Structure 1
């Protein structure tokens, strides 16, 4: 009699633990979408584990930046762009450039996310309805319209807690799917060890992949939106320790899940010489090596990653605008409804024109790195302002972390510019 009770209580504890996750769940939602998954799959299948060091550094710096932005919000009660505008010289210009840069990058990413998600759903539909295999374009477009319409409908009825619960579900499914897949298909330990030694693939597209990695993992949108989500959670200065713990957990989970995706792609595809360039490649190459169950799990995780990213990507432009204007996000406002509707229409560009969503995803991630130095420089100036932070002013270790993150972002931005010139 005791055993069923113990099992039930264990399940309840696990559910409570998942639901207790703080604003870090949005960090995972922003960071690990089909953009991240696509970059990890393409990198793992093309370069093995060679770029693991980039992922590790990006996740460490992401944790530092989430912590810094969260602390600033809890101590001052102000959000990021509102604080830039109010306290920094040239703050208005910097804030506007950040809004334009991040919105452009996230909306471009949204096109690829919806395209990949719709293609994955199409592949699942064709398994059960083979007669539809000749109508790929039409089915993918209809699926894309339905997905984005449902997401828009959810946005119109939701508040912070509602968004958080939806993301918890998608992120949990995604994380478990990828981690379980890793136990079935994994890379050689020597490949993992070599991947921690800094190096850039000396082949066409290598530099762009490095920039895409940082663009998707050190996502500026993640840090800028954190103060709003921290406030939405109802946290205040008494939650400083909880905020720190939340940032560390979020950064750690981003690394574990992303590394799992790269590892599966490396273990299954790299040594077979089968790089991924299209959505279909993931089906045709993974199934013989990983088996149907692992393939289904992996695709289910990829779809969950896509759906968990559509939500934050639709939210980003109204979040940044609200942040700049007042520091408060009103999801019932006319402005919120109009901007998210425009984002939904923008998302349909790739499905309508039938473009390759994987190539679009990687390009969009590269664009994300260019506003990153501004975002890091802004928070360095704010957390070191004694008038604003008082006794909570940044210490030496936080400044070392933020300084290293700024240097890293400048190097990667330069690398991204060179990669784009090479591409075009």
Structure 2
């Protein structure tokens, strides 16, 4: 009995001991990512697995690079852009506007999908609720966002981290267990690693959305503040590196599991997902009620784990630009997060399709990505800042490749949006 208790304590300690990488997972795997993976898996099978793999690889290197820069210089990202890069003030302001716009758009879809999922779970047990679907979904959205805002006002970094750890753990387990029940053929997984873009309407947009959600600029820019919030210094360089690798690996594993479940259950049925309700009607006959409940629980956890970081992003970036320090008790923090909460209610109020909104919002995230990569390249190769700490050729080479990849995807995203509108 005591052995079981000590083992469970060790497992709990390991989960709660996760570093700032948990925020990387929170930012990256939200309902935006889940939606993109479900739509991709149900529509194209495993064809876009290569995009996910590349995005996660480059993300891991960028998370490491931004964290390492902070450990060496003691400075955060946008504050450093402003101080050390020519034209850095303008670059920093463009990044703040671009990322806040992308994340707040994403927030609308996240809250809409989360409220819809809670409604669908309730409707399974209380079918009469369908008569007042709009009103109940809106009420759920208001309750969720008010609770999240309340948690933001009382929380500190460690508190945010613990809440995210719980949501992300539930999410990861839910999707991975679902994968054992519904999975694609190994040959489909292998083919998915060969680069190709679906030559159909919406294919380009989905590729851009994939990168927008897995190579999220917000993840890299917020990394320095979370590293500082954790209290890490030069003695933690090895820990910072492991944390970045683990974050990238988990993002790939969970995202690939979601895509694989959607591919295994829906792709061969010829049932692409376009609405939240589609996930209920298509998954239940194939996967059964238990797998469906697990999958829904995972998607809801993904949504709730993303609302937190999305509400935090604008005050984080602004605090970074101003001083490099985040004060969660400041008037500025409370006002900006309150505006974000009101913004999040737009999709539920107008009853818009949250899945479509979510895909479009993810595409916007790719446009500031090249600026974010150029910024860290310039900082890491600035001898005045780095002093005796030279950036390796491998890191520089991977960052340059990630910049080329980001530019290509941004161009792809522009053409996709032009076709959409």
Give the structure-1-normalised TM-score. 0.99
CA distance in 2, matches of 1:128, 1:336: 39
The answer to whether the aligner puts 1:216 opposite 2:228 as a matched pair is no
1:391 to 388, 391, 403: 388
Structure 1 residue runs of 5 or longer lacking an equivalent are: none
Contact 1:79 1:227 in 2 (8 A): yes
* 1:375 matched residue in structure 2: 372
Contact 1:40 1:262 in 2 (8 A): yes
The answer to whether the aligner puts 1:336 opposite 2:326 as a matched pair is no
CA distance in 1, matches of 2:79, 2:122: 46
CA distance in 1, matches of 2:389, 2:125: 58
Q: CA deviation at 1:130?
A: 1.9
* Aligned-CA RMSD value: 0.5
* 1:271 matched residue in structure 2: 268
The answer to whether the aligner puts 1:121 opposite 2:125 as a matched pair is no
CA distance in 2, matches of 1:181, 1:311: 25
* 2:43 matched residue in structure 1: 46
Correspondence 1:183-222 to 2 at 5 A: 183-222=180-219
Look up the SS of the partner of 1:118 in the other structure. helix
Q: CA deviation at 1:125?
A: 1.2
* 2:10 matched residue in structure 1: 13
Look up the SS of the partner of 1:392 in the other structure. coil
1:327 to 316, 324, 328: 324
CA distance in 1, matches of 2:42, 2:19: 33
Structure 1 segments of 4 or more deviating over 4 A? none
CA distance in 1, matches of 2:41, 2:227: 34
* 2:177 matched residue in structure 1: 180
Q: CA deviation at 1:296?
A: 0.2
CA distance in 2, matches of 1:248, 1:323: 24
CA distance in 2, matches of 1:374, 1:271: 40
* 1:61 matched residue in structure 2: 58
CA distance in 1, matches of 2:5, 2:22: 25
The answer to whether the aligner puts 1:363 opposite 2:348 as a matched pair is no
* 2:224 matched residue in structure 1: 227
Q: 1:71-120 CA deviation, whole Å, 9 max, x = no partner?
A: 00011110000000000000000000000000000000000000000000
Q: 1:113-140 CA deviation, whole Å, 9 max, x = no partner?
A: 0000000000111122222111100000
Contact 1:385 1:393 in 2 (8 A): no
1:256 to 250, 253, 258: 253
Structure 2 residue runs of 5 or longer lacking an equivalent are: none
Q: 1:330-350 CA deviation, whole Å, 9 max, x = no partner?
A: 000000000000000000000
The answer to whether the aligner puts 1:96 opposite 2:93 as a matched pair is yes
2:286 to 282, 285, 289: 289
Contact 1:212 1:363 in 2 (8 A): yes
* 1:418 matched residue in structure 2: 415
Q: 1:233-279 CA deviation, whole Å, 9 max, x = no partner?
A: 00011111100000000000000000000000000000110000000
Q: CA deviation at 1:408?
A: 0.3
The answer to whether the aligner puts 1:160 opposite 2:157 as a matched pair is yes
* 1:86 matched residue in structure 2: 83
CA distance in 2, matches of 1:356, 1:133: 17
CA distance in 2, matches of 1:280, 1:392: 53
Q: 1:377-412 CA deviation, whole Å, 9 max, x = no partner?
A: 000000111110112221101001101100000000
Look up the SS of the partner of 1:391 in the other structure. coil
* 1:31 matched residue in structure 2: 28
Q: 1:172-218 CA deviation, whole Å, 9 max, x = no partner?
A: 00000000000000001010000000000000000000000000000
Look up the SS of the partner of 1:393 in the other structure. coil
CA distance in 1, matches of 2:335, 2:245: 35
Q: Paired residues, what number?
A: 421
Look up the SS of the partner of 1:135 in the other structure. helix
Look up the SS of the partner of 1:400 in the other structure. helix
The answer to whether the aligner puts 1:110 opposite 2:107 as a matched pair is yes
Contact 1:75 1:237 in 2 (8 A): yes
CA distance in 2, matches of 1:19, 1:64: 24
Look up the SS of the partner of 1:369 in the other structure. coil
Look up the SS of the partner of 2:368 in the other structure. helix
2:303 to 306, 310, 326: 306
Give the structure-2-normalised TM-score. 1.00
Correspondence 1:392-407 to 2 at 5 A: 392-407=389-404
